[in-house]
Structure 1
Amino acid sequence: MIRVGLTGWGDHPSLYSGVTASKEKLFDYTGHFLTVEVDTSFYAIPSIENVRKWCENTPEHFSFVVKAYQGMTGHLRGDIPFDSKNDMFNAFIACTNEFKRHGKLAMILAQFPPWFDCQAKNVQYLLYIRQQLKDFEVAIEFRNQTWYADKVVQQTIDFLREHQFIHTICDEPQAGVGSVPFYPEATANKVLVRIHGRNIHGWRNTGNTENWRKVRFLYDYNQEELQQLGQDIKSLQAQVQELFVLFNNNSGQHAAKNAKQLQEILAIKDIGLAPKQLNMFEGEL
């Protein structure tokens, strides 16, 4: 099974029926896709009440990929806003258990920063993550090429497989050590493919701290690129039971369009989408 979706549901105007409330945007989103990445959980751990509302207001077969809180993956500069690391993980686990309780947790995504390179202390930290999140399926996304160096890449894959981590396969610009190659190897019965765009100049140029994210993920895939991605994903599908594809090229509002194009290429027809709201004036003169 292949599920295609987007990172976040609040920034895709082409999917909405003129509504602005977050709850209504999520409902409209579920009329188009059956999976989504909860990217807000990277910045702050959602309340259990909010998670419950999201789960109750989505279709039966909808699923969430929950991004790990930034303090868990080494992104947060300064002190964590918790008394201890255990408190931080426990808060995230309580939140994620609510998704699981509703049967709507696809996996946890632990995305590590570019400075998280392949060295012994970081391998040990991955084992710590595995222990803390032992009751969950966890996808690991690297942002440092050293994990995929010729001499160690097989060890990386073997390590992920041995410890039952889901390998996150990325399509992104090849812009030096702070980016990773598209490496289509599954390590569990699920695999996650994240599509970041190929804006190599934007990926490298992070000098404007206010707008760097908008620049980095500004990219519109052309039909030839999507066709190739489709072929790669079909080949990858043979390795797993479930394959999740998430488009993260949101800056120019290209993600939803590209995701729908890929669905057409893969002949995906999701069953169980929420009913799309009709424009009340549709058909009127």
Structure 2
Amino acid sequence: MIEIGLTGFGDHEELYGKIKPAERLPTYSRHFPICEIDSFFYAIQPVKNVVKWVSQTPEHFGFIPKAYQGMTGHLRGKKNYFDTREEMFEAFHTSIQPARDAGKLTMVLFQFPSWFDCTRENVELLRDTRERMRDVPCALEFRNRSWYMPEFRERTLAFMREENWIHTVVDEPQAGLGSIPIVAEATSDELTYVRMHGRNVEGWHKSSDPDWRKLRYLYRYSTSELQEWRDRLLALEESSRRICVVFNNNSAGDATDNAKELIALLQEGGKLQPTS
């Protein structure tokens, strides 16, 4: 089964026009069956927010919260609102529980930063992180190429299988050590995550620009590029029961169109059912 969605539900005017914020998620969920929730990255969300989101979506809708930045080492000196690692993870578990209770928690994404390289210390941190997440399905995304260097690639994938991490396959600019190649491999029989970041090489590392986030994800996939991904997804489906794909190239409203086009390409071959 292949499911396609977007990152976030609040910034897609190309999908639903100018409507009240309270109407955005219900409208979004009529188009896509899954949504990555990146607000968790900036702050662990109040339970009441998750309860509301659960109530606004259909029975089989799936949420993919992005792990809080304190859980993935992104803070680098910025204030962490939790005194201990244990307190932080417990707060996250409490926050996502309403989605779990409703059967709407697809997985949690742990995206580690570009400076998180392949070292023994970081491998142990990943083990500790996975243990703290208990039986919650967790996807792992790297931004440092060292994990997929020829001498580490197979060991990285084997480690993810052993530790019950869902592999996050990414499409992103090939811009040196702070980016990773497409590694279309599944580490879970049940779930594989695919994130489409675009291919804006020039914008990927321009962190000094005030609008660097917009530059990073400013890209529109061509039909031929999406056809290549259709074929990759069908191949991945042979080794993983459920493939979840989200488009993150949101800067100019391209994510929605690209997601819709990929859905159409899969439907042409009878490989994807229309979203109700």
For 1:70, the aligned partner's letter is Q
1:283 aligned residue: none
* 1:206 maps to 2:231: no
The CA deviation string for residues 145-168 of structure 1, in whole angstroms up to 9 with x for no partner, is 000000110000000001110000
- Residue 56 of structure 1: aligned partner: 55
Structure 1 CA distance for aligned equivalents of residues 274 and 115 of structure 2: 38
- For residues 69-148 of structure 1, the aligned pairs below 5 Å read 69-78=68-77, 79-148=79-148
RMSD between aligned residues: 1.0
Q: What displacement does 1:96 show?
A: 1.5
Q: Which residue of 2 aligns with 1:259?
A: 259
User: Who is 2:67 aligned against?
Assistant: 68
Match of 1:36 in 2: 35
Task: Report the TM-score when normalising by structure 1.
Answer: 0.93
Decide which moves more: 81-90 or 158-167. 81-90
1:14 Cα deviation from its structure 2 partner: 1.7
Further displaced range: 81-90 or 189-198: 81-90
Q: Could you tell me which residue of structure 2 aligns to residue 192 of structure 1?
A: 193
Specify the alignment match of 1:281 in structure 2: none
Letter in structure 1 aligned against 2:172: E
Q: 1:269 aligns with which of 263, 269, 273?
A: 273
Q: Secondary structure at the match of 2:195?
A: strand
Partner of 1:229: 229
The residue identity in structure 2 corresponding to 1:31 is R
The one-letter code of the counterpart of 1:231 is: D
Quick one: distance in 2 between partners of 1:98 and 1:179? 34
Normalised by the size of structure 2, how large is the TM-score? 0.96
Question: Highest CA radius of gyration, 1 or 2?
Answer: 1
- Output one character per residue of 1:52-84: Cα deviation in whole Å (capped at 9) or x when no partner: 010011001100011000000000132311122
Cα distance per residue 1:139-191 (max 9 Å; x no partner): 00000000000011000000000111000000001000000000011001200
Deviation at 1:134, TM superposition (A): 1.2
Letter in 1 for 2:200: N
C-alpha distance in 2 between matches for 1:103 and 1:248 = 24
Q: How big is the shift at 1:20? A: 2.7
SS in 1 for 2:57: coil
Between the aligned partners of 2:122 and 2:17, the Cα distance in structure 1 is 45
Identity of aligned pairs, percent? 46
1:5 aligns with 2:16: no
- Matched with 1:248 is 248
1:17–1:28 contact (8 Å) kept in structure 2? no
Query: In the alignment, which residue of structure 2 is the partner of 1:282?
Result: none
Name the residue aligned to 2:175.
175
CA contact (8 A) 1:34 1:270 kept: no
Q: What is the distance in 1 between the residues matched to 2:98 and 2:75?
A: 24
CA–CA distance in 1 between the matches of 2:245 and 2:166? Answer: 13
CA distance in 2, matches of 1:135, 1:36: 21
User: Aligned partners of 1:217 and 1:153: how far apart in 2?
Assistant: 26
Task: Name the SS for the 1:249 alignment partner.
Answer: coil
| Structure-1 separation of matches of 2:242 and 2:3 | 8
Tell me the matched-pair count. 270
- Aligned CA distance change for structure 1 residues 107 and 31 (closer, same or farther; 3 Å): same
Q: For residue 58 of structure 2, what is the amino acid of its counterpart? A: P
Q: After TM superposition, give the deviation of residue 17 of structure 1 in Å.
A: 4.8
RCO greater where, 1 or 2, for CA within 8 Å and sep 6 or more? 1
Q: Distance in 2 between matches of 1:203 and 1:55?
A: 34
Q: Give the SS at the match of 1:266.
A: helix
CA distance in 1, matches of 2:37, 2:117: 25
